[in-house]
Every structure is written in structure tokens, then in C-alpha cells.
Amino acid sequence: MPVPPPGKLLLAAAVLLGAALAQAAQPSDHPATVAAPPLRTVAAHGPLAVQLPTAEPGGKKAGVKKPPMPRTDQRTGVTPPRPWSLPGGKVLYLTFDDGPQPVYTPKVLAVLAKHHAQATFFVLGREAAAHPALVETTRRAGHRIGNHTWDHPMLTKLSPARLRQEISTGVRSKCFRPPFRDTNAHVAAVASSYGQHQVLWDVDTRDWEKPGVARIERALIRGARPGAIFLMHDGGGNRSQTVAALDQALTKLAEQGYAFRSLPC
Ligand SMILES: [Zn+2]
């Protein structure tokens, strides 16, 4: 291949850099145009390893600094995944617990599809067994599934044998979420022994209290910051408030440049 004159090379580099900068400056309000990044494995805490998206190749060129390593929760040993992949890091992680539920899970899926949003569903083993097609539909829509135990007990109150049973009979996933945030180092270690990384949340929308659409929406808007993990529910009761609040909040958050991704579960 002939070597181009140095002037031409410089011009090409400048064009590339300009494109990368323009991409970095632009809010990513259309997550569907963002390709899923390849996964890399990092040591999270002790023997645990989680798959995190790798940094985007353009990141360095655009002068985007990689965010610092996420802080590990000393009580639970959990290191939350953080958005390495988007310039500006405006990624939110929506999570829905206690499903699948035949009425509300499809409504949540419809709202997510409308906003090109991907999310993570921490399902109960007993509900997944009762509605396997709903889990499959959720997966096929590009969302991820996490284990929320079989039967939703307080895990720290269980005998070691029952604890193992609750975690091992839930759905197979790389992620595990303890019901009621009731956990300790032992619970996290048992989940880890099944290859499941404990994932809690940063923002509880308290939608389970049915406080009204406006309050749930406000919790979503106020809690938004790059990399935040939100807790919501598609199962366990009437979730019509959650569905309505989600629809409204996603419109506003997308306008602020946020993208919605699933956790690497
Ligand atoms: Zn739950």
C-alpha cells in the first residue's frame, strides 16, 4: 500500500478526532443507535468476577476520562457496575423485581420498547416457573434476567441449607438480588458459589408503596445520575402506577441525554 503524504495523514487524524469529539459532545438520547459493547471480566471483590462493558474505542481519542473504579459496598461486598461505554456516561440501569407477572410485565415491556430502553428483571423462581413464556419474551426483547430467589424470603433468617435452596432454585443468571435487601457476607458468598454476583440498587423508587404516579416519576428524575441503578417492581401487586410513571420519566430522562441499559447479568 502506498504511503500517503504526511499532510494527508494529519488531515485524516483531524477528521477522526473531530468525529469523536462531536460524538462525545452529543447527548445519547437514542440508545438503539449505540452498539452493545463487548464484555470484559474484572475482579470485583475477592474471588468474584463480573462482566463489565469495555471502554469504547473512541473514548481515548475524544479525551473522555474513564470514571474511577466504583466503590465497593463494605457491608455487602457489592461493587456496582458502572457505565464505561458511553461518552459522558449517561447510562441508567432500570431494574424490575418480583415478576414475571402476566398483567404488568407486558405493560412494562411495552413502555421500555417505546423508549428503546433495556432493563434487568430480577424474577422469582416460582413465578418464572409459572410463566416461562413471559421470561422468554423478556429475554427476546433484549433485556436481562436476574435471580431474585425462588420464593422471596428474608435470606439472613434461613438455615444454611434453606439459603442454598432458595438461591439455587431461582433462575440461572450471573446476577442475584436478595429480597428486602436482606443480605450479609454469607448470603453474598453463597450466591457467588453459584456464579451469581449480588446486585443491589442506588435508588429505591418506592413504587411498591403505590405512592402515586407523580412521586414515582419524581424519584426516577431526581435519582438520575450516570450509572445509577433504580429499583422498581413489575410483580407483587398492582403496578399500574409504576407503568405510568416509567413512561413519563423515560421521556424526560431521554431528553436529558440518558440511555437505559441492562446490567451485565
Ligand atoms: Zn422483591
Write the pLDDT tens digit of every residue in 224-234.
999 999 999 99
- Does position 78 have pLDDT exceeding 80, yes or no? no
Q: Which amino acid is at 208?
A: W
- Does position 144 have pLDDT exceeding 80, yes or no? yes
Span from the CA of 124 to the centroid of ligand 1 (angstroms): 8
What percentage of the chain carries pLDDT values higher than 90? 66
Of 97, 98, 207, 234, catalytic: 97
Residue 76 pLDDT: 52
Q: What is the distance between the alpha carbons of residues 246 and 105, in angstroms, rounded to a whole number?
A: 13
Inter-residue contact 111 to 229 (CB < 8 Å): no
Residue 61 pLDDT level (bands cut at 50, 70, 90): very low
Span from the CA of 148 to the centroid of ligand 1 (angstroms): 7
- Does position 207 have pLDDT exceeding 50, yes or no? yes
DSSP code of 176? Answer: E
Q: What is the distance between the alpha carbons of residues 261 and 65, in angstroms, rounded to a whole number?
A: 21
Residue 25 pLDDT: 35
Q: What is the distance between the alpha carbons of residues 64 and 53, in angstroms, rounded to a whole number?
A: 16
Of 115, 131, 152, 233, catalytic: 233
Q: Which residue has the cell 494527508?
A: 8
Range in 42-46, 92-96, 118-122, 155-159 with the lowest mean pLDDT: 42-46
Residues constituting the chain? 265
Sequence-ordered alpha helix ranges (H) in the chain: 6-25, 58-61, 104-114, 125-130, 132-140, 160-168, 185-193, 213-223, 240-255
Span from the CA of 253 to the centroid of ligand 1 (angstroms): 25
Q: Which residue has the cell 456496582?
A: 80
Span from the CA of 36 to the centroid of ligand 1 (angstroms): 28
Average pLDDT (178-182) is 98
Residue 213 pLDDT level (bands cut at 50, 70, 90): very high
Q: What is the distance between the alpha carbons of residues 44 and 80, in angstroms, rounded to a whole number?
A: 9
| Domain range summary for the chain, segments of one domain joined by + | 6-261
| Peptide bond just before 100 cis, omega within 30 deg | yes
- Does position 27 have pLDDT exceeding 90, yes or no? no
Span from the CA of 204 to the centroid of ligand 1 (angstroms): 12
Residue 89 pLDDT level (bands cut at 50, 70, 90): confident
Q: How many CB atoms lie within 10 A of CB 41?
A: 10
Better pLDDT: 142 or 1: 142
Q: What is the distance between the alpha carbons of residues 263 and 261, in angstroms, rounded to a whole number?
A: 7
Span from the CA of 176 to the centroid of ligand 1 (angstroms): 11
Which residues, in sequence order, are CB contacts of 101 under 8 Å at separation 6+? 127, 131, 134, 234, 235, 236, 239
Average pLDDT (75-97) is 67
Q: What is the pLDDT of residues 189-199, one digit of tens each?
A: 999 999 999 99
Range in 7-21, 37-51, 202-216, 247-261 with the lowest mean pLDDT: 37-51
Q: Which fold has domain 6-261?
A: TIM Barrel (3.20.20)
Nearest-CA neighbor of 226 among 210, 248, 202?
A: 202
Q: Is 233 a catalytic residue?
A: yes
Q: Is 197 a catalytic residue?
A: no
Give rounded-to-5 percent helix, strand, coil for the chain: 40, 15, 40
Residue 16 pLDDT: 38
